[in-house]
């Protein structure tokens, strides 16, 4: 699950950077190639965040099944 937090933080930072550059610079991105690069990086980060969340959630459930049932404190009556 830690991978999701890292990729999510990078994605958030990327979003802030792209937003800042879009506000500050007219015509951002400057060329068709730069536009494709920004889009490709954005798509890769979103796919990475979604994929790491799905894998982390699937592994989290598997870890609980392997560990057995939760222990309970039983007091004699």
Q: What is the pLDDT of residues 20-51, one digit of tens each?
A: 999 999 999 989 999 999 999 999 999 999 99
How far, in Å, CA of 55 to CA of 2, rounded? 11
57 by DSSP, 3-state: which?
helix
- CB of 48 closer than 8 Å to CB of 55: no
30 by DSSP, 3-state: which?
coil
9-13, 27-31, 55-59, 63-67: range with lowest mean pLDDT: 63-67
């Amino acid at each position: 699950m830690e991978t999701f937090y890292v990729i999510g933080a990078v994605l958030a930072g990327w979003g802030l950077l792209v937003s800042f550059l879009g506000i500050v610079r007219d015509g951002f991105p400057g060329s068709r190639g730069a536009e494709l690069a920004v889009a490709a990086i954005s798509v890769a980060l979103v796919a990475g965040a979604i994929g790491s969340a799905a894998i982390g959630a699937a592994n989290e459930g598997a870890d609980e099944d392997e560990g057995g049932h939760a222990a309970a404190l039983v007091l004699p009556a």
